[in-house]
């Protein structure tokens, strides 16, 4: 292992650790905020950023290009599903408020 591989490995570990911090921050936002829409916003944004950092950190440590591409596909699907689900939940919450 040369110094470039070691540096990329440590940089990847740093990105993964930073992603975990974003996951924890999103969870704290979920527990701390009072209104459902605020909880949803905090959780979705922080988890999307956390997932991105974790995936980039894992891509730097991936053994091949195929594994890295699979991780990027997982990240894309995670972003799409998080935005879609949060939109649907927010829309249903707003329609319930209008009905009341």
11-64 pLDDT, tens digit each: 999 999 999 999 999 888 888 888 877 888 888 888 889 999 999 999 999 888
Question: Do the Cβ atoms of 55 and 77 come closer than 8 Å?
Answer: no
Question: Do the Cβ atoms of 57 and 19 come closer than 8 Å?
Answer: yes
Per the structure, the count of domains in the chain is 1
Question: What are 94's two structure tokens?
Answer: 């707003």
> What is the spatial distance between Cα 76 and Cα 92, in angstroms, rounded to a whole number?
24
87 band by pLDDT with thresholds 50, 70 and 90: confident
pLDDT of residue 100: 60
What domain range includes position 94? 3-99
73-85 pLDDT per residue, tens: 999 998 898 888 8
> What is the spatial distance between Cα 100 and Cα 98, in angstroms, rounded to a whole number?
5
């Amino acid at each position: 292992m040369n110094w470039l591989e070691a540096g990329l490995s440590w940089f990847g570990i740093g990105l993964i650790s930073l992603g975990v911090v974003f996951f924890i921050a999103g969870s704290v936002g979920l527990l701390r905020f009072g209104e459902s829409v605020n909880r949803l916003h905090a959780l979705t944004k922080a988890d999307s950023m956390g997932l991105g950092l974790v995936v980039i950190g894992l891509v730097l440590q991936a053994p091949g290009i195929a594994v890295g591409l699979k991780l990027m596909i997982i990240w894309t699907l995670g972003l799409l599903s998080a935005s879609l689900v949060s939109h649907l939940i927010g829309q249903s919450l707003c329609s319930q408020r209008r009905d009341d």
